[in-house]
Amino acid sequence: MLAVFLSIFLDLVGFGIILPLLPFYAEHYGATAFMVTWLATSFSLFQLIFSTIWGRVSDRIGRKPVFLMCLAVSAGAYLWTGLAESFAVLIVARCVSGIASGKISVAQAIVADVTTPENRAKGMGLMGAAFGLGFTLGPAIGAFLVGNDPQNPDFQTPMFVAAGLSLLGLLLALFTVKESLTAEDRATARETTKLPLKTQLQAIFASPSIPWLIGSFFIVSFVFSQVETLFPLWTERNYGWQPKDLGYCFAYIGVILVIVQGRLIGPLTQKLGEPKLLLVGLSALAIGLFSTTVAFHFSIFIAAITFMSVGIAILNPTHSALISFVSAKGQQGSTLGIANSFSGLGRILGPLWGGAFFEFVDYDMPLIIGGVLTVIFLIFVRRVVISLADKNTANKEKAPL
């Protein structure tokens, strides 16, 4: 699992390098705020399509070959982004990155393969810590590489460095990552995929909690993608921030993700259990979103960002762990792929919705709408989550000492 962590970490450092710079890179080619959201939408559209495909293929042929292929495509996409000479080329490069994003579903499936149910959330937290470290180091590296002249920023060098890091992750995975899926599980998956698609989907959604967990994945992605995509422009309008300022803020967010997912998610899971932890994460996210809209002082802004970051840090590994628990045998990759596809759908619709309100109504509207949607879903999902918590408690009581 450490080898997977390191490979994902290197790739995500590259992702962290370019993410805060993309809106400014797009504006460099004449894109408006609404057009900037197309970058996230194009990425998420192809993530939606290919996450399920790669998860299903990895169930059939094994995790490692799919993981390696996604890393190779990711490196190529970062390189193409650096070579872009127009906004249209940037869009195409982000589409290719979306295709490669299936590596996350495959990495999560590897973790599910090699961990016990008791350690599943902790293992998923380790993958989340890779995100956090990527967001800690990546934006700081990007802020350094972009240069000190806001009138003539160097956007190409950060993109090329991101491509190099992703390629390094590919080489590391090639020689260190071992196949985690047994021959028996691959055979089961191949037999399952011979069934009619309707039968396969019925098996995947046999657990009544699966739609709610996937729905939570969608809502969180829908809400947070608005913030993630428009945050650079929001801070520019409200605080006059430049790419370097934003890089340091993203690094702060990354530190929180690393602390929560790398050190705290295990103890929190043992104390509360994954179902109740899901409610905690949704609550923290909602508080952060609402607080940002009234951040008249910088200390309030930092507190709001902290709440949002803690919420996301809790939700990502908890979602993945819960979904893997209730997945049918031989379909963990497919189920996690479907969940990540719905996450991708949220990332398509969220930036489009938020971008329209940002440009044509008010800068704060995406945050307000996001907070309202999170609270509404929290109310509806609470009963299902409590039911899952009761089942977990019952299973622990029945388990042999």
Categorise residue 153: left if φ over 0, alpha if ψ from -120 to 50, beta otherwise: beta
For residues 270 and 187, what is the distance between their CA atoms, to the nearest angstrom?
Answer: 34
- The pLDDT assigned to 96 comes to 93
Residue with structure tokens 């197309």?
A: 38
For residues 328 and 356, what is the distance between their CA atoms, to the nearest angstrom?
Answer: 40
- The pLDDT assigned to 328 comes to 63
Residue with structure tokens 């997977």?
A: 4
Q: pLDDT truncated to tens, each residue of the chain (401 aa)?
A: 677 878 888 888 888 888 878 888 888 888 887 788 788 778 878 877 887 788 778 878 888 899 999 999 999 999 999 898 888 999 999 999 989 887 877 887 888 777 776 676 677 777 767 777 777 788 778 878 887 776 777 888 999 999 999 999 999 989 988 887 777 777 766 666 565 556 666 666 666 677 778 888 888 888 887 777 777 777 777 777 776 777 778 778 878 887 887 778 878 888 888 778 888 989 999 998 888 887 777 788 889 889 988 998 888 788 777 777 767 666 666 677 777 778 778 877 887 777 778 777 887 788 888 888 888 888 877 776 666 655 554 444 344 33
- The pLDDT assigned to 399 comes to 40
Residue 108 CB coordination number (10 Å): 30
- The pLDDT assigned to 79 comes to 93
The H or E element spanning position 278 is helix 274-292
Question: Which token pair is 163?
Answer: 């491509």
Burial environment of residue 163 by CB neighbours within 10 A (0 to 12, 13 to 18, 19 or more): buried
Domain ranges across the chain: 2-398
Question: Which token pair is 252?
Answer: 């702060």
Burial environment of residue 36 by CB neighbours within 10 A (0 to 12, 13 to 18, 19 or more): buried
CATH number of 2-398: 1.20.1250.20
Residue 379 CB coordination number (10 Å): 10
pTM above 0.85, yes or no: no
